[in-house]
Amino acid sequence: MKEIEVQNLTKRFNGKMVLNDISFEVKEGEIFGYLGPNGAGKTTTMRIILGLLKPTTGKALVFGEELGRCDELRTKVGVLLEHDGLYNGLSAYDNLDYYAQLYGLSDGAERKRKIEELLDFVGLSDRKDDRVGKLSKGMRRKLGLARAIVHEPEVLFLDEPTSGLDPEAQIMVRGLILQLSAKRGVTIFLNSHDLDEVQRICMKIAILQNGEIKAYDTVENLRDKMGEPRIEITLSDSKYADKALKILNSLDSVSDCEREGSGLTVVTRADTQSSTILSALMENGIGVEEIKRVTKSLEDVYLDIVRNGREE
């Protein structure tokens, strides 16, 4: 079932095109990564889905409806934006209590139980009475996450959830996100420019560049589709490098071959085996110390897209 559906979305600000005809969907239980460099239009897309901005054309639907037009539908949605949405002057507990009430948790005892459970979940039980203004950025982010799920949403929107956090806090927040997806079945829309983060936790991604979606698929499929098969070869003697280069470039199964120090990087046709390359070199008396197939990382795919976008 589709929980988030974006159809031909376009947004202009003062005549400037910020989003250009973007479409994608997020299914129930998915962790969807929305990747792109700063200024690509990620936050604008999220704001339109959340009903904070109106699209110039197109639609952004959650559970089949526009969030901006339906107040009650927003009880099913949790949000952690760039700002944590927390009041510095209130305690950690009071912040959660206020939002819990706004989301309709009217039973005081139930609310208290829920808030204490959440503070425990994010590891802030011992800081519950501290004013938010006194908490570290990592603690605030974790509390922001607790705030976003205080009403047990079915869909969670996260905008750069680990931005500015130290590595330990990043790991913890990512762990919490994965737990939400695995244990509670929450659908997660993750805005990020952190490739490592997206690669680790997202099932499907869209890469946005200059307001357009340049790629949209699962991480594995994107790597397979966009990453040409590569083989890295380390020769036993670098003096044969030029000869090896000449031999490999003459093979039909090789589309490109480059020298890199004492080794070679070979871009092959899709069905080429490493053994074919190895045989060609051995037959010509060139010794090989190491040969390995290299998969293109998401980072490579992403950088290719972003660089191509800049050149356009």
Total residues at interface with another protein (CB under 8 A): 34
Q: Residues 75-104: x/- map of binding to another protein (CB under 8 A)?
A: x-x-x-xxxxxxxxxx-------xx-xxxx
| Least distance in angstroms from the C-beta of 217 to another protein | 28
Q: What's the DSSP call for residue 71?
A: T
| Using rule CB under 8 A, residue 54 touches another protein | yes
Q: Given the complex with another protein, which of 13 and 279 has the nearer CB atom?
A: 13
Is residue 270 within 8 A of residue 276, CB to CB? The reply is: no
| Using rule CB under 8 A, residue 39 touches another protein | no
Q: Given the complex with another protein, which of 177 and 219 has the nearer CB atom?
A: 177
The span of 47-55, 234-242, 246-254, 265-273 binding another protein (CB under 8 A) equals 47-55
| Least distance in angstroms from the C-beta of 11 to another protein | 10
Q: Given the complex with another protein, which of 16 and 83 has the nearer CB atom?
A: 83
Question: H-type helices in the chain, by residue range?
Answer: 42-49, 92-102, 108-121, 137-148, 167-184, 195-201, 219-226, 241-249, 274-283, 298-311
Among 129, 137, 143, smallest CA distance to 80 is for 143
The span of 25-33, 64-72, 244-252, 259-267 binding another protein (CB under 8 A) equals 64-72
- Phi/psi region, residue 84 (left: phi>0; alpha: psi -120 to 50; beta: rest), is alpha
| Using rule CB under 8 A, residue 10 touches another protein | no
| Using rule CB under 8 A, residue 47 touches another protein | yes
- DSSP letters for 202-271: -SEEEEEETTEEEEEEEHHHHHHHHS--EEEEEES-GGGHHHHHHHHHT-TTEEEEEEETTEEEEEE-TT
| Using rule CB under 8 A, residue 169 touches another protein | no
The span of 69-77, 119-127, 207-215, 242-250 binding another protein (CB under 8 A) equals 69-77
Q: What's the DSSP call for residue 179?
A: H
Is residue 287 within 8 A of residue 235, CB to CB? The reply is: yes
Which pair of structure tokens corresponds to residue 209?
A: 């560049």
Is residue 25 within 8 A of residue 76, CB to CB? The reply is: no
| Least distance in angstroms from the C-beta of 54 to another protein | 6
Which residues of this chain interact with another protein, rule CB under 8 A? 13, 47, 50-54, 67-68, 71-72, 74-75, 77, 79, 81-90, 98-99, 101-104, 106, 147, 157
